[in-house]
Amino acid sequence: IDYEARRQIDLIGAGEAVQQEARHWNDAAGRTSTLRTKEEATDYRYFPEPDLVVVDPDEAWIESVRAALPALPRERRVALVEATGAGTEAAALIVTRDLDALVLEAIGFGADPGRAATHAEHNLTDERARDMNATRFAELIAMEVGGAVTATQAKTVLAEMLDRGPGADPAAIAAELGFEAMDSGEIEALVDDLIAKHPEEFQRFCDGDGKVVGFFVGQVMKATQGKADGKAVTAILNGHKP
């Protein structure tokens, strides 16, 4: 391309015309040479195809076709970002999986936008997720946000919902799996016991070491077999600061 561009520039500079022709590239010589000339535009098939009728659509027809087209991926990504606050990469992934409609519909049923997007991004990787009932999805998210199940438990329930089909009831599954909300007093007692046993770690927490929160949350989760809410544990720890 570089050689041919220079050749044509030189021709024009010398007052010569650039011929319509097919040229061959000689890699060894590093130049092009004439392969065959094409004197007429018809040699390039610049003429109407006799077997095709002429189509002259008016603006009304064009607009009707445009209106009937589904939303393009970019439009879907923008709509998802605006509705959920998800990042552009997360939105692109959700749209690629064709789960944006599920997320937006669940939000319409009252689901927390952020949680809906998070589940679609991280926990709905199976193709069966496309058939999930948006109402049931919204119910699960409401249970999670309301504290009836933890984020870990919600993920487990979601997997069960995929296995059982679109109409699977998240509340029934949670009850079946023994995922019942823990009493806040029970969680607080566990936190108090941990603070008493690990005063140095608690002091680090009080001094602003955010990493040590994971230690306390992990210990409570271990003691409750994952039934405690990590956010509740953090809130209780904050409440114990001097």
pLDDT at residue 52 is higher than 80:
yes
- pLDDT tens digits, one per residue of 65-111: 999 999 999 999 999 999 999 999 999 999 999 999 999 999 999 99
What does the angle CA 184 – CA 187 – CA 188 come to, to the nearest 5 degrees?
A: 85
What is the pLDDT at residue 133? 95
- Interatomic CA distance for residues 155 and 127, integer angstroms: 16
- pLDDT tens digits, one per residue of 162-221: 999 988 999 999 999 988 767 778 888 988 999 999 999 999 988 888 888 889 888 888
Give the mean model confidence (pLDDT) for residues 131-144. 95
User: Which band of pLDDT confidence, cut at 50, 70 and 90, is reported for residue 155?
Assistant: very high
What is the pLDDT at residue 74? 94
pTM exceeds 0.75, yes or no: no
CA-only gyration radius of the chain, Å: 32
Q: How crowded is residue 8: how many other Cβ atoms within 10 Å of its Cβ?
A: 13
pLDDT at residue 47 is higher than 90:
no
What is the pLDDT at residue 3? 93
Instruction: Kindly indicate whether the domain formed by 184-239 is annotated with CATH number 1.10.10.
Output: yes
Which is more confidently placed, 238 or 158? 158
Report domain extents, the chain. 1-69, 78-176, 184-239
pLDDT at residue 6 is higher than 70:
yes
- Kindly provide the b/e burial profile for residues 136-169, where b requires at least 16 CB atoms within 10 angstroms of the residue's own CB: bbbbbbbbbbeebbbbbbbebbbeebbeeeeebb
What is the pLDDT at residue 146? 84
Give the mean model confidence (pLDDT) for residues 14-19. 90
